[in-house]
Structure 1
Amino acid sequence: MIKLLKFLKPYRNYVIVSLILIFFQSISELYLPNLMSDIVDIGIVKGDIRYILQKGEIMLLVAAGGTVSAIVASYLSSQAAMGFGKILRNKIFSQVENFSLQEFDKFGTASLITRTTNDVNQIQMVIMITLRMVARAPLICIGGIILAVSKDARLSLILLITVPILAFLVFVLYKKAMPLFDAIQKKIDRVNLILRENLTGIRVIRAFNKIEYEKKRFNEANIDLTNMSIKVNRIMAWLMPAMMLLLNFTIIAVIWFGGIRIDKGTMQVGDLMAFIQYIIQIMFSLIMVSVVFVMLPRASASALRINEVLEIVPKIKEPEKPEEIKNIRGVIEFKDVTFSYPGADEPALKNISFKAEPGKLTAIIGGTGSGKSTVLNLIMRFYDADSGSILIDGVDIKLLPQTKLRDMIGYVPQKAVLFSGTIADNIRFGKNDAADEQIRKAACIAQATEFIFQMKDEFNSEISQGGKNLSGGQKQRLAIARAVVKRPKIYLFDDCFSALDFKTDAKVRAALREETKDATVIVVAQRVATIMDADQIIVLQKGEIAGIGTHKQLLNTCQIYREIVLSQLSGEELI
């Protein structure tokens, strides 16, 4: 957790001023019992009303000063803690944005969300309470002990019994709670995972009548979390009653032995009252520290999880000596590329070699799991190849800055991803400074204008989260428009035409053919009809190239391609 405190640096002035104010608050609290002692021993005993009023006014001023200090200190400590949380969330988000897909797969979306929200909140709360309590508690405790000893040193020996007992209680509970809080955070991850899967997959769940099954699955995870939380709280529930019991017994002992000393004339009543106040302050300061210690295990578990994210080194790194392609043409070349997904038994791609050139359409087809989408993932550097090289205009993509690489690529994923905002905002996502005319043209090429103009606000129509108010085909056409408006040198279409009907598919491909005539185009497809006119078709089978050529060539030379074609087209449609 100490590693994360560096994010408090921008708020160090707030922290310093807060600590100074807490110091004044502590001094005022320690001074009040002494004033009360003087009022009792001098003012009340002697019947001096003027003295009582003078000391009372001083008490009010001291109390008011302490209250103002406490309020301002609380405000500043809250500002520092909230600012710390903001910086830490930004840092985690920036780190996650740099992750390769391999790091995303390692942590999981639900866990990353929990770490960015719940875990940060835990640490944020501890810092806020620490600034308020832990800085104040030592001052109150040490000052209280000194003043208590000054009132009656022998009576102060009671603390030698009670303080070690309190410290032992806190230590035992801390040791028991620490591993359990880490388990709670993991169970929260599990609940978030199931909840996220249900919210995103509600259509499938209902279609297969799995609502009761999912309820049972969520209920099991929820009960598991609840039981673990109850177990922790059952342990922590002992702390406060035990401490209050110890405090009350301490006060009883002080009153008992203090009464004996008053009876013997070795102690005054006012001093005993002040002594009791100091004992209460000392014990409560220790209780405050123990409360922080109770919260520390959970915050420490959260800090470990956050540090795990911040300290991970992304597999995909920026080149130490980046190269630049001055005149971008977009020639893509794979040279003996082999790639395996983490934990996979077999490579997803084996010794893949091909070249895709500008002005030509390269299509990739094959069965499920043959590695078609993996080819595009490697070009985008979502993953790095295990061996071999991928070149763009003769330069290895590992030597290109990632932003420069992706700037020259227009990518349309297999599953269209849209963001909340207007239709224009989503298309402009491909090019921030795209003019309205460019957006309209891109939408026209993607055959999206036919449904956009039917909407009330046309391009200013709002899209709900994830594009829930659009059909699959409509979302896919907007995703295509988003890539087209960018006017890149390389287009990557990952089986994005499958959501379109045959008529729209043909229109989109015809419009794209004119728009992309000077660009390199790679299309991953399942439909043979989509790629029959490709200049080059690559057939993949179990991660290996089974054939390369045109449609006519492959019909004669590649048995796998011929089987795929025959499964989709009639004999008259083959040529």
Structure 2
Amino acid sequence: MIKTLAKQIKEFKAASIATPLFMILEVLMEMIIPYLMASIIDKGVNTGDIHHIYKVGGIMVVAAVIGLFAGMMGGRFGAKASAGFARNLREAMFNNIQTFSFSNIDKFSTAGLVTRMTTDVTNIQNAYQMILRMFTRAPASMICAMVMAFTINARLACIYLVAVIILGILLFLIMSHATKYFQQAFPKYDDLNESVQENVSAIRVVKAYVREEQETSKLRRASENIYNIFVKAETNLVFNAPMMQTAVYTCILLVSWFGAKMIASDSLTTGELMSLLTYCMNILMSLMMLSMVFVMVAMSMASARRISEVLNETSDLKNPEHPAMKVEDGSIEFRHVDFAYKKDSDEPVLEDIDLKIRSGETIGIIGGTGSAKTSLVNLISRLYDVTKGEVLVGGRNVKDYDMEVLRDQVSVVLQNNVLFSGTILDNLRWGDKEATLEECRHACELACADEFIDRFPKGYETYIEQGGSNVSGGQKQRLCIARALLKKPKVLILDDSTSAVDTATDAKIRRAFREEIPDTTKLIIAQRISSVQDADRIIVMEDGKVNGFGTHEELLEQNDIYREVYESQTSGGGDFDEKEGE
């Protein structure tokens, strides 16, 4: 885990090394000042040697300036190193997420990934800065102060040593209890983020069903869980301050008491006593500082593990050593394919799929909910790998292609249509970033999207809100189809992508496909038989198997499921789910 995170320090190694060096220099300057102050009092003030006061005072000013400079540089380099480390962690996680297959993404929730890239990275950033600065400064300050105290008077310095040992044991017990609660707290942020994310993305549904109160209650529960855990953790930490104050005042009293006696017996000077009292504060406050560093590090350990999980996750889809860089045509073949989302699953989602689709064919795919229609087409663009058998595109196994090349030639309009914030033109150019306005217009004409775009005051410069919330479902679908067409693919897959458009528009889109892109293989998943009945052939799916494959007329004659649903739909309703429920 530490090694995984340390790789992301990269160009900030120099800043990470410079920070503790400057912190040590600052500590050394701070430790010299009390020692010099003792010399001023004993050899200058008490003897009236003004020259000695000026001389040592000048050295103190120089030490203070050097210490100030070292502290400023330590803070500057520490901030640069920690902020840069956090930036690299976010970029590394985001870049790795981009390589994930759908099966990799399924392991993490959206809210969990957001928490890892925000709250968890912030925890690591704060902890890293404290490690570079305070974790260096506190032990160095404590050790130097202890050495200086023993140099001045070993007997009185033993008081500090005993106090440090007792305080260290007590602080360890407090930290160990508090750490358990902190480690429980940060995973709870996933629930909080999930609640906020769901509410914001579905705010229209929430308001339509007047569910604001229930959503508020859900958020309150998630927030309350975090609150309760932090209260328990902080309750343990409240003993830190009184313990530290007790130790400091006890040490001051003991050193003052015994020191006064030593001064009276001429075995200790006034200046040395003052220095010892200053070192007392340095030693015990360093211990306090060190305890807070341990808390911060303990808090960040849970975050570090969660970030490492994302960074160490490797895509289960790999390019071959020498990938094919060209898809010859849009032919598709399934050779006895089995598929399961989990490799150790006993029940496959798809079972013994054996199909041949010629390049340029229009293939309809119909079936009830859960019949694995989407799972079938996801294998074509290699969004998942088959469990058994082979999927071929253009006469080659999809595993032989470079994935980017394959997905450029297999354009998929997914069941959940997604538009991004930006203009209509920006969204269309996701299909081809070099596409001209005329090419975008032509794609929109094929998808029947030009009908509503031309009615917008700003046309293709109309701004689309995040997720396409300011356009209707049918408009969103048509824009997504146009975007897919701009890729000029050899295979076009429409996964129930015309469900929100009327039948007349659906027919126009299909006619445009037939006339304008005859060489592109088109796979159309639909619930309405009217959407696929003029396809060259139709696949009927049932329970992850191919129940029928043929033309509309052949299936009406030979396939009972297809015929019954067709009759139900043409007589005024009915779909595959109703058929399955009979």
The answer to whether TM tops 0.5 is yes
Structure 2 match to 1:443: 444
Q: Which amino acid is the alignment partner of residue 229 of structure 1? A: F
Query: How many angstroms apart in 2 are the aligned matches of 1:323 and 1:80?
Result: 40
Structure 2 match to 1:7: 8
Q: Which amino acid is the alignment partner of residue 337 of structure 2? A: V
- 1:146 Cα offset (Å): 1.4
Structure 2 match to 1:570: 571
Structure 1 match to 2:204: 203
Q: What is the correspondence of 1:316-327 to structure 2 with a 5 Å cutoff?
A: 316-319=317-320, 321-324=321-324, 326=326
Kindly provide the CA deviation profile for residues 246-270 of structure 1, in whole angstroms up to 9, marking residues without a partner as x.
2222222221221121122110110
Kindly provide the CA deviation profile for residues 332-382 of structure 1, in whole angstroms up to 9, marking residues without a partner as x.
111111112338663221111112222210110001111111112222222
SS in 1 for 2:227: helix
- 1:325 Cα offset (Å): 5.5
Structure 1 match to 2:332: 332
Q: Which amino acid is the alignment partner of residue 334 of structure 1? A: F
Judge which range, 141-150 or 75-84, deviates more.
Answer: 141-150
- 1:472 Cα offset (Å): 1.0
Kindly provide the CA deviation profile for residues 383-442 of structure 1, in whole angstroms up to 9, marking residues without a partner as x.
222111111122111222211211111111112101111111110011121122211211
Residue 141 (structure 2) pairs with residue 146 (structure 1): no
Query: How many angstroms apart in 1 are the aligned matches of 2:293 and 2:326?
Result: 59
Query: How many angstroms apart in 1 are the aligned matches of 2:516 and 2:230?
Result: 59
Residue 498 (structure 2) pairs with residue 503 (structure 1): no
- 1:192 Cα offset (Å): 1.1
Counterpart contact for 1:40–1:270, Cα < 8 Å: yes
Which ranges in structure 2 are unaligned for 5 or more consecutive residues?
A: 573-582
Q: Which amino acid is the alignment partner of residue 364 of structure 1? A: I
Kindly provide the CA deviation profile for residues 43-95 of structure 1, in whole angstroms up to 9, marking residues without a partner as x.
21123334323333332222122112111210111001111111111111111
Q: What is the correspondence of 1:10-409 to structure 2 with a 5 Å cutoff?
A: 10-319=11-320, 321-324=321-324, 326=326, 328-342=328-342, 346-409=347-410
Q: Which amino acid is the alignment partner of residue 365 of structure 1? A: I
Query: How many angstroms apart in 2 are the aligned matches of 1:152 and 1:414?
Result: 79
What is the TM-score of this pair, normalised by structure 2? 0.94
Judge which range, 539-548 or 324-333, deviates more.
Answer: 324-333
Counterpart contact for 2:362–2:537, Cα < 8 Å: yes
Counterpart contact for 2:175–2:291, Cα < 8 Å: no
Kindly provide the CA deviation profile for residues 265-322 of structure 1, in whole angstroms up to 9, marking residues without a partner as x.
1101100111111121122222221111011111111111111122223222222x34
Query: How many angstroms apart in 2 are the aligned matches of 1:438 and 1:247?
Result: 77
Kindly provide the CA deviation profile for residues 468-493 of structure 1, in whole angstroms up to 9, marking residues without a partner as x.
11111111111011101110111011
Query: How many angstroms apart in 2 are the aligned matches of 1:560 and 1:211?
Result: 43
Structure 1 match to 2:576: none
Query: How many angstroms apart in 2 are the aligned matches of 1:252 and 1:127?
Result: 37
Query: How many angstroms apart in 2 are the aligned matches of 1:230 and 1:551?
Result: 67
- 1:8 Cα offset (Å): 1.6
What is the TM-score of this pair, normalised by structure 1? 0.95
Counterpart contact for 2:378–2:384, Cα < 8 Å: yes
Judge which range, 169-178 or 258-267, deviates more.
Answer: 169-178
- C-alpha distance 345-178 of structure 1, shift in aligned 2 (>3 A): farther
Query: How many angstroms apart in 1 are the aligned matches of 2:106 and 2:238?
Result: 38
Which ranges in structure 1 are unaligned for 5 or more consecutive residues?
A: none
Counterpart contact for 1:438–1:485, Cα < 8 Å: yes
Query: How many angstroms apart in 1 are the aligned matches of 2:493 and 2:223?
Result: 42
Query: How many angstroms apart in 1 are the aligned matches of 2:254 and 2:401?
Result: 76
Q: What is the correspondence of 1:479-518 to structure 2 with a 5 Å cutoff?
A: 479-518=480-519
Query: How many angstroms apart in 1 are the aligned matches of 2:311 and 2:338?
Result: 30
Structure 2 match to 1:549: 550
Query: How many angstroms apart in 2 are the aligned matches of 1:102 and 1:207?
Result: 34
Judge which range, 203-212 or 375-384, deviates more.
Answer: 203-212
Query: How many angstroms apart in 1 are the aligned matches of 2:341 and 2:212?
Result: 33
- 1:202 Cα offset (Å): 2.5
Query: How many angstroms apart in 2 are the aligned matches of 1:303 and 1:57?
Result: 47
Query: How many angstroms apart in 2 are the aligned matches of 1:281 and 1:138?
Result: 11
Query: How many angstroms apart in 1 are the aligned matches of 2:333 and 2:470?
Result: 40
SS in 2 for 1:351: strand
Judge which range, 12-21 or 374-383, deviates more.
Answer: 12-21
Counterpart contact for 2:330–2:360, Cα < 8 Å: no
SS in 1 for 2:106: helix
- 1:535 Cα offset (Å): 0.4
Q: Which amino acid is the alignment partner of residue 136 of structure 2? A: A
Counterpart contact for 1:356–1:522, Cα < 8 Å: no
Kindly provide the CA deviation profile for residues 503-548 of structure 1, in whole angstroms up to 9, marking residues without a partner as x.
2212222222223211111111111111110001000011111111
Identity of aligned residues (%): 40
Structure 1 match to 2:435: 434
Counterpart contact for 1:170–1:293, Cα < 8 Å: no
Query: How many angstroms apart in 1 are the aligned matches of 2:127 and 2:307?
Result: 15
SS in 1 for 2:417: coil
SS in 1 for 2:347: coil
Q: Which amino acid is the alignment partner of residue 203 of structure 1? A: R
Structure 2 match to 1:540: 541
- 1:460 Cα offset (Å): 1.7
SS in 2 for 1:346: coil
SS in 2 for 1:537: strand
Q: Which amino acid is the alignment partner of residue 225 of structure 1? A: I
Query: How many angstroms apart in 1 are the aligned matches of 2:2 and 2:261?
Result: 49
Query: How many angstroms apart in 1 are the aligned matches of 2:375 and 2:327?
Result: 27
SS in 2 for 1:379: coil
Q: Which amino acid is the alignment partner of residue 61 of structure 1? A: V
What is the aligned residue count? 570
- 1:244 Cα offset (Å): 2.8
Counterpart contact for 2:380–2:393, Cα < 8 Å: no
Query: How many angstroms apart in 2 are the aligned matches of 1:328 and 1:412?
Result: 22
SS in 1 for 2:186: helix
Query: How many angstroms apart in 2 are the aligned matches of 1:22 and 1:244?
Result: 25
- 1:326 Cα offset (Å): 4.0
Query: How many angstroms apart in 1 are the aligned matches of 2:564 and 2:188?
Result: 48
SS in 2 for 1:355: strand
SS in 1 for 2:524: strand
Query: How many angstroms apart in 2 are the aligned matches of 1:451 and 1:32?
Result: 77
Counterpart contact for 2:333–2:391, Cα < 8 Å: yes
- 1:170 Cα offset (Å): 2.7
Kindly provide the CA deviation profile for residues 156-190 of structure 1, in whole angstroms up to 9, marking residues without a partner as x.
11123111122212321232233322211121111
Judge which range, 205-214 or 370-379, deviates more.
Answer: 205-214
Query: How many angstroms apart in 2 are the aligned matches of 1:264 and 1:379?
Result: 94
Kindly provide the CA deviation profile for residues 539-560 of structure 1, in whole angstroms up to 9, marking residues without a partner as x.
0011111111111110111111
Q: Which amino acid is the alignment partner of residue 511 of structure 2? A: A
Query: How many angstroms apart in 1 are the aligned matches of 2:457 and 2:253?
Result: 77
